[in-house]
């Protein structure tokens, strides 16, 4: 650990906009010489966050409660409600005013009590299978397996599928992963993010191959949708697919599709609507899926036993977010907000760890660090610090979008809170350590964030990129012209192993990564709360 800068010594890390965006500092590399006075850094607070957050971290304990005790946390499910209530209690113990806030009807939720599938007959074997969310219960039943994806449309329309278990996709070839599944971002990748012109671009994809792959995907998708529509009308016992990625028993699972309404020309019903009809649907390990197909293609029968005990939760259709405030002490700025957040809902096959128990645990740990610093130093945040744990993210960023719509409005039609949010920072890319920040094109924040990251170069966090990134809750804020950001994170095994999979569990979280992330998030929200001005707004905010 570097020697901490003595407390109460003002520190200025200088940085021009051009140097902030054009220089990619490799992790651990010497810092470029200051060019001009820039954003001040509270050295005493940073030193405390580092010591407390790296030496006495509680982030893995937060994560264990969220995932081991209350995972998984499908939106609206009893587990999510328990996790939210627990988080409110924990924030309260830290000194925050915490509550849950309803954001509107979500629809019925679902939970799985038990599930099993096995091939039976002369050569039986267990099947690694997970039900898709919102699949109804199936009493223990034996049924023949039919390979629908191998049929022509005419054959499929003529087939008797009632009471059968139907394979709806073609098998997928598997290649051994000689290069491994987990990785850190390489220096050249970070450099390309910070200054695309400084690094030769990646070799272009051969256009013919790209068009062919795109067309193959589109054709495959259309073919699968056609198969599903026909199969569902024939009311089989269950439908089985295999995920588009994963092997060695790792299964990526999300939600079921509702059966089309009777007489509907096309499209599906709303799986969350009370009374919607859903054919039981399972995703199984690709190796087991491929084996079933090979047996059927040899003309050999495949028969399985299926059982599923699941519950629809239809009593309370509203959903809620967790909000926790540490009141600002400045008489002028105290009503403004410096915000951090992550989504706490998850899918159901694993424990909801890397997506996104990790982000939620980091938010809670960052909140703890800030509260502990206030207690130790006697210095209150000038602005109110608000921690948010969103729900409904997996169904379309529903919780954060509802919050923004209710409280912030839009840039053209702002509501009261729109002008009070000084900045929002989000974490939602798994266990990977923070490597920097996506600016979302908000160039004016570059020098500010470069200064705030300066004390963490030894922890591999130094990259600022103009790039944006999508798919998570900062978009709700950025989309209405409020400065909202997602941190750059190492991918680790997120896409290859844990994202929405049965292996999204506590054991695949990296403690040192989450400790580093919590320290940096605490630093960013503390400095946002303390600075004289709010963070600069996106340049195009007035157009939204």
Structure confidence at residue 222 (pLDDT): 79
Whether residue 31 is contained in a domain is answered as no
Q: How far apart are alpha carbons 172 and 537 in whole angstroms?
A: 46
Regarding whether 159 and 259 lie in a shared domain, the answer is yes
What is the mean pLDDT of the segment spanning 2-11? Answer: 33
**Beta bridge partners of residue 438, listed in sequence order:** 465
How many structural domains compose the chain?
Answer: 2
CATH number of the domain to which 130 belongs: 3.50.30.30
Provide the 3-class DSSP secondary structure of residue 217. Answer: helix
Regarding whether 347 and 245 lie in a shared domain, the answer is no
Domain span at residue 297? 109-313
Regarding whether 135 and 92 lie in a shared domain, the answer is no
**pLDDT tens-digit readout, 448-464:** 999 999 999 999 999 99
Regarding whether 527 and 396 lie in a shared domain, the answer is yes
Q: Rg of the chain's alpha carbons, rounded to an integer?
A: 25
Structure confidence at residue 208 (pLDDT): 60
Regarding whether 380 and 256 lie in a shared domain, the answer is no
| N-term to C-term CA, the chain | 45
Q: Which of 313, 336, 369 represents a domain boundary (last residue)?
A: 313
**pLDDT tens-digit readout, 52-87:** 999 999 999 999 999 999 999 999 999 999 999 999
Regarding whether 394 and 358 lie in a shared domain, the answer is yes
pTM of the model: 0.90
Whether residue 534 is contained in a domain is answered as yes
Regarding whether 532 and 441 lie in a shared domain, the answer is yes
Structure confidence at residue 456 (pLDDT): 98
Q: Which of 313, 328, 345 represents a domain boundary (last residue)?
A: 313
**pLDDT tens-digit readout, 284-322:** 999 999 999 999 999 999 999 999 999 999 988 999 999
**pLDDT tens-digit readout, 193-241:** 998 888 887 777 666 655 556 555 555 667 888 899 899 999 999 999 9
Check if the beta carbon of residue 467 is closer than 8 Å to that of residue 482: no
Residue 269 DSSP label = -
The full 3-state SS of 307-345, as one line of letters, equals: EEEEEEECCCCEEEEEEEEECCCCCCCCCCEEEEEEECC
Provide the 3-class DSSP secondary structure of residue 303. Answer: strand
Q: Which of 267, 291, 313 represents a domain boundary (last residue)?
A: 313
Check if the beta carbon of residue 301 is closer than 8 Å to that of residue 121: yes
CATH number of the domain to which 339 belongs: 3.40.630.10
Provide the 3-class DSSP secondary structure of residue 97. Answer: strand
The helix (H) or strand (E) run that includes residue 248 is: none
Give the E-state strand segments of 132-252 in sequence order: 138-147, 165-167, 238-242
Q: What number of residues does the chain have?
A: 544
Check if the beta carbon of residue 514 is closer than 8 Å to that of residue 431: yes
**pLDDT tens-digit readout, 465-474:** 999 999 999 9
Regarding whether 78 and 159 lie in a shared domain, the answer is no
Handedness of CA 193, 197, 203, 207 (dihedral sign): positive
Whether residue 13 is contained in a domain is answered as no
Regarding whether 332 and 400 lie in a shared domain, the answer is yes
Average pLDDT of every residue of the chain:
90
Q: What is the DSSP string of 412-440?
A: SSB-GGGGGEEEEEE--STTPPEEEEE-T
Regarding whether 182 and 99 lie in a shared domain, the answer is no
Provide the 3-class DSSP secondary structure of residue 293. Answer: helix
Q: How far apart are alpha carbons 469 and 465 in whole angstroms?
A: 10
What is the mean pLDDT of the segment spanning 80-102? Answer: 98
Check if the beta carbon of residue 113 is closer than 8 Å to that of residue 310: yes
Regarding whether 395 and 519 lie in a shared domain, the answer is yes
Check if the beta carbon of residue 461 is closer than 8 Å to that of residue 521: no
Distance of alpha carbon 47 from its chain centroid, rounded? 30
Q: How far apart are alpha carbons 515 and 521 in whole angstroms?
A: 10
């Amino acid at each position: 650990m570097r020697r901490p800068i003595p407390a109460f010594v003002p520190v200025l890390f200088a940085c021009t906009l051009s140097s902030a965006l054009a220089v990619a500092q490799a992790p651990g590399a010497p810092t470029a010489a200051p060019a001009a006075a820039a954003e001040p850094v509270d050295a005493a607070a940073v030193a405390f966050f580092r010591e407390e957050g790296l030496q006495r971290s509680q982030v893995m304990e937060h994560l264990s409660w969220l995932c081991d005790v209350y995972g998984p946390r499908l939106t609206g499910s009893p587990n999510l409600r328990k996790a939210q209530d627990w988080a409110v209690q924990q924030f309260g113990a830290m000194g925050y005013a915490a509550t849950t806030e309803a954001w509107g009807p979500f629809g019925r939720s679902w939970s799985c009590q038990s599930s099993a599938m096995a091939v039976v007959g002369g050569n039986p074997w267990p099947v690694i299978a997970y039900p898709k969310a919102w699949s109804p219960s199936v009493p223990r039943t034996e049924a023949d397996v039919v390979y629908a994806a191998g049929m022509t449309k005419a054959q499929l329309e003529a087939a008797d599928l009632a009471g059968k278990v139907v394979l709806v996709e073609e098998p997928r070839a598997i290649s051994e992963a000689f290069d491994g599944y987990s990785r850190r971002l390489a220096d050249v990748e970070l450099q390309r993010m910070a200054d695309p012109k400084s690094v030769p671009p990646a070799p272009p994809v051969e256009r013919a191959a790209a068009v062919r792959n795109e067309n193959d995907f589109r054709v495959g998708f259309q073919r699968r949708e056609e198969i599903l529509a026909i199969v569902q009308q024939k009311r089989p016992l269950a439908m089985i697919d295999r995920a588009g990625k994963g092997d060695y028993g790792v299964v990526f699972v999300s939600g079921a599709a509702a059966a089309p309404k009777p007489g509907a020309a096309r499209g599906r019903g709303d799986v969350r609507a009370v009374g919607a009809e859903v054919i039981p649907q399972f995703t199984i390990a690709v190796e087991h899926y491929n084996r079933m197909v090979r047996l059927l293609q040899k003309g050999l029968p495949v028969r399985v036993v299926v059982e599923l005990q699941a519950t629809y939760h239809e009593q309370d259709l509203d959903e809620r977010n967790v909000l926790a405030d540490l009141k600002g002490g400045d008489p002028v700025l105290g009503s403004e907000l410096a915000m951090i957040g992550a989504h706490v809902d998850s899918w159901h096959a694993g424990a909801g760890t890397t997506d996104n128990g990790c982000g939620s645990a980091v938010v809670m740990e960052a909140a703890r660090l800030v509260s502990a610093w206030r207690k130790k130093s006697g210095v209150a945040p000038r602005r109110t610090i608000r921690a948010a744990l969103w729900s409904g993210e997996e169904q379309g960023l529903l919780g954060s979008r509802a919050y923004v719509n209710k409280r912030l409005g839009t840039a053209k039609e702002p509501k009261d809170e729109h002008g009070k949010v000084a900045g929002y920072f989000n974490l939602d890319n798994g266990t990977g350590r923070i490597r920097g920040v996506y600016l979302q094109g908000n160039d004016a924040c570059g020098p500010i964030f470069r200064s705030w990251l300066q004390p963490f170069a030894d922890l591999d966090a130094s990259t600022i990129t103009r790039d944006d990134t999508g798919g998570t809750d900062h978009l709700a804020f950025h989309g209405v012209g409020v400065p909202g950001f997602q941190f750059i994170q190492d991918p680790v095994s997120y896409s290859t192993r844990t994202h929405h999979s049965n292996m999204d569990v506590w054991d695949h979280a990296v403690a040192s990564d989450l400790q580093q992330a919590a320290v940096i998030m605490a630093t960013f929200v503390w400095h946002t709360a303390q600075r004289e001005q709010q963070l600069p707004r996106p340049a195009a905010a007035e157009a939204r």
